[in-house]
Structure 1
């Protein structure tokens, strides 16, 4: 699957992934402070996600941080989102209400849940389905704040900035999202999602990300990001491992690598459905150790094949990978074969896989796709770094 780019207008499809594109006048500098409350009751140390026994209690919690007036549970209320996948009876939602942030002139949708893990799983599937349908940016600018048993979705970026200073955390399940340094990053209840206090926004009113090429450029007075990407020495960080065994442990949850082999004959296996990126002697690619996850065949057709590489010479590896990519494009009408494994690299490791779902998890584990297509660039919000060889970049964006 090749992920397609979408624009901010598509975010209006559902309240759960709104980008708060309306105008407003937020003044916050973006650094989210630790929460000063531990429940919907009295103030105190942050001892975990806040809880609410009713929508009224959830409203009271929100009101500590921003305006939330005229709470209504009437489905006919015009403030209710017209297209909302999280209605009562779905995703373990037991109650849904809406209130008005009169200060910022926006709406806030509140949800009570009987099972927060089920709620997060429902949201993750909703985002994944949209991405699989070609909407690659879906959920990247999430406004889904979650607590222990309730969730809050503000319409306005300014409202989100106020809530980011509470004990609630933003649930983001777009696999290309990474929490910048300086912000809280916590594990969600479902895999490949993350909780943070970083408000990702396209309107310029969200949290400040001093790690992004765009922010750095603006601080230096530049009008645009470098076309060749961020320089390697200024990378936001890449995955690394001291051995092939360590690499396997690092990626097992993403690749489902229960079946693993380093036997040269087994590793050299490929099938019509699973073509490796490396062809020939892997030593010539600068790879010291190479292994394969998956089932190479036998009684059943080969399935779930991916290759792991402990790279000793990353410049040689990227040079060879670039040549292989350009050859593939020439021989296949300017396209990559769907069964050809994409190369995701770290600092001294690489993974070859044609599984889109596996790549989603690997991007969150700080792997980046080596893309050597001429003229390729990535939209704002995605990582876009210069590779070690000219004409290639490292990115977590898979559009063309």
Structure 2
């Protein structure tokens, strides 16, 4: 009986230590540090709040949904520096902020220090994609067929840093780039899924 009691005690202590080591106190993951509160900004699978990144091949509905500027900044900060957001850009080199009413943009934010990242909250994602494609068709988006805004379900983002753009397209982020260039043809193995607008695709391929 004494041996059985000792085994039970050891088992209970081991379980407690395992729970503590795994962060059983419910604390927030430090990888998403900088801005706190709720599940906003955590990569959400198909719009849910389970904290998991969307699986590949799920298209637009698999993209993360931020819910607010703070949520978008928190998600972005998990992959590139974006711990302080300002409604005013602090650099003349900030990515283009012309997205306006026709793009269904409701709010702008800027973060980062040496390399500025822009965030645009979007009310109607299909309107945003339609307006972006119209600009591409007019040749107003330049000649780089391997670039475009990085999007979630309710926001778009872009950085003047090539490293930041690549980091935001990592599989863990769940984000994808909107590409509406007719000549876009990524190498094999990269995602190329239909967007909400015909002639546009969602991809994880980017080349500056």
Q: TM class by shorter-chain length? A: 0.5 to 0.7
Q: CA deviation at 1:139?
A: 4.4
- CA distance change for structure 1 residues 42 and 107 in 2, over 3 Å: closer, same or farther? farther
Q: CA deviation at 1:183?
A: 1.1
Runs (4+) of structure 1 exceeding 6 A deviation are none
1:278-324 Cα deviation digits (max 9, x unpaired): xxxxxxxxxxxxxxxxxxxxxxxxxxxxxxxxxxxxxxxxxxxxxxx
User: 1: distance between equivalents of 2:96 and 2:164?
Assistant: 21
Specify every segment of 5 or more residues in structure 2 that has no aligned partner in the other structure, as ranges: 1-41, 56-61
TM-score by length of 2: 0.67
| Residue 124 of structure 1 pairs with residue 133 of structure 2 | yes
| Residue 49 of structure 1 pairs with residue 49 of structure 2 | no
What is the alpha-carbon root mean square deviation over aligned residues? Answer: 2.5
TM-score by length of 1: 0.36
1:37 match: 43
1:71-99 Cα deviation digits (max 9, x unpaired): 1113x643574853303x33100001111
1:160 match: 165
Q: 1:90 aligns to what SS in structure 2?
A: helix
Which of these residues, 91, 97, 109, is aligned with residue 109 of structure 2?
A: 97
Query: For the pair shown, which has the larger CA radius of gyration, 1 or 2?
Result: 1
Q: CA deviation at 1:141?
A: 3.4
| Residue 185 of structure 1 pairs with residue 192 of structure 2 | yes
By relative contact order (CA 8 Å, sep 6+), the higher-ranking structure is 2
1:15-56 Cα deviation digits (max 9, x unpaired): xxxxxxxxxxxxxxxxxxxxx932696632515110011111
User: 2: distance between equivalents of 1:37 and 1:82?
Assistant: 23
Higher helix residue share: 2
Q: How many corresponding residue pairs?
A: 157
Q: CA deviation at 1:145?
A: 0.3
CA contact (8 A) 2:91 2:116 kept: no
| Residue 65 of structure 1 pairs with residue 73 of structure 2 | no
CA contact (8 A) 2:118 2:159 kept: yes
1:204-223 Cα deviation digits (max 9, x unpaired): xxxxxxxxxxxxxxxxxxxx
